Chains A and B, each alone.
Chain A
């Protein structure tokens, strides 16, 4: 049986061989795509999972093995690993790789993820960032020998690194520019909850504080850092956890609107700066800037694990069934494990104008905060309350579904 909406694409290329790239390949095969799939990745190894890198894998008793993502038998993918894509010419459907070779495609799926935000000045050795497996090995070595660690940025990543270092008995200073950790993402009360977890574990958390400069010993090794509160903190290692940036620089000059993530439509088709879509290029995961109903349909980068999984399926489907494509209205979700608190969020707490604390118990590791924007539910955050989280998720899904239907109706009317 032939599907009238199906394209005759035969050669699909996926750029980025990680969570979104692998799941996109799986989704293409699940949709019974029988043509060739080439997956280009700059890391020299098969896809692996990143969340464990800042959690279990930093602890002293973890065996340092790559948390590989399972690749199903028979996936039939041509892996082109250890080679970055450096340029895209969508008019001629040509992708150029770092070794100078080119690949042509009928359909392209961009899944290049994100990178750690860099420090604006040269850094001494042992000032590290964490994004990939190589970073993990370097950081594990540093944690094994260091006595004092400085972590810059108390977001989830910085918080998890600081927590892991505490389990190894290091002295940890955690420096955060805002008045509370995660204040912009989760609000003051949830931030105070996270701050309490850190302090209870013995972390020296310095809020409303920034690093003025790193100091080195005569031999060039890191000695410590001078903070904006005037204090000096000796440290043998430091981790910069300043957030992530979409890895879309390589698309500069391609004609895609790719600054700060590839802007795309609800079907995850990449857009030109004038807002018209490329019908043969889709985006998924941390690299995508997609409109979301909970963000008033503004394009946002979600940068979370489940988002990469869900968008990979949608972006794959859109490539195979471009006419008419199906949108992907899901509720964003995120998790972090901090000092034994299983922190889980649904929706977009960062968009809220009001946060209501239902439960907050640092000792029992329980938390429930509900977020509203203009009187409407926009997110929820829990620790140790998955049942409540599921209830909030259900309500958010109803809101997302309604907003998606409304946007679709308005689009029809507008035509």
Chain B
């Protein structure tokens, strides 16, 4: 699966980090980092992260 985050939209709400900490994290400088090609086993968590992002910055696509 492929993940993209539009960092121009991201307002550091952290909802994706709460929903899918396996994929999303904040680094030491409080910047959002993420695994752009996580395992398909994390699909449900990734979809949840996309659904709870208040600014809809996250896109989840099947495939690699």
Contacts and interface: CB of A to CB of B under 8 A. Distances in A.
Q: Do A and B come from one complex?
A: yes
Interface of A: 23, 51, 70, 305-306, 309-310, 313, 331, 333, 335, 337, 342, 344, 346, 384-387, 389-390, 393-394, 397
A340 to B, nearest CB: 12
Contacts of A305: 54
B57 to A, nearest CB: 13
B28 to A, nearest CB: 7
B2 interface: no
B54 A51 contact: yes
Nearest to B12: A386
Interface string B26-51: 11101010000000000000000001
Given A384-B30, A390-B26, A309 B14 contact: no
B52 A309 contact: yes
Contact of A23 (B11, B17, B27, B51): B51
Contacts of B30: 384-387
B47 to A, nearest CB: 9
B25 A390 contact: yes
5 contacts: A333-B14, A333-B15, A335-B13, A346-B18, A386-B26
A339 to B, nearest CB: 15
Given A387-B30, A390-B25, A310 B18 contact: no
A386 B51 contact: no
Contact of B18 (A51, A70, A331, A387): A331
Contact of A387 (B15, B26, B52, B56): B26
A27 to B, nearest CB: 9
B12 A342 contact: yes
B56 A393 contact: no
A344 B26 CA distance: 15
Interface residues of B, number: 18
A30 to B, nearest CB: 9
A393 B18 contact: yes
Contacts of A390: 14, 17-18, 21, 25-26
A23 B51 CA distance: 9
Given A342-B11, A389-B14, A394 B54 contact: no
Contacts of B11: 335, 337, 342
Contacts of B52: 306, 309-310
A189 B64 CA distance: 48
B51 A393 contact: no
Nearest to B24: A390
A344 B19 CA distance: 16
A190 B12 CA distance: 20
Interface centre among A337, A342, A390, A393 (most CB of B within 10 A): A390
Contact of A344 (B14, B51, B56): B14
Contacts of B32: 386
A306 B15 contact: yes
Contacts of A389: 14
Contacts of A51: 54
Contacts of A344: 12-14
Nearest to A313: B51
Contacts of A393: 14, 17-18
B14 A394 contact: no
A23 to B, nearest CB: 7
B16 to A, nearest CB: 10
Contacts of B51: 23, 309, 313
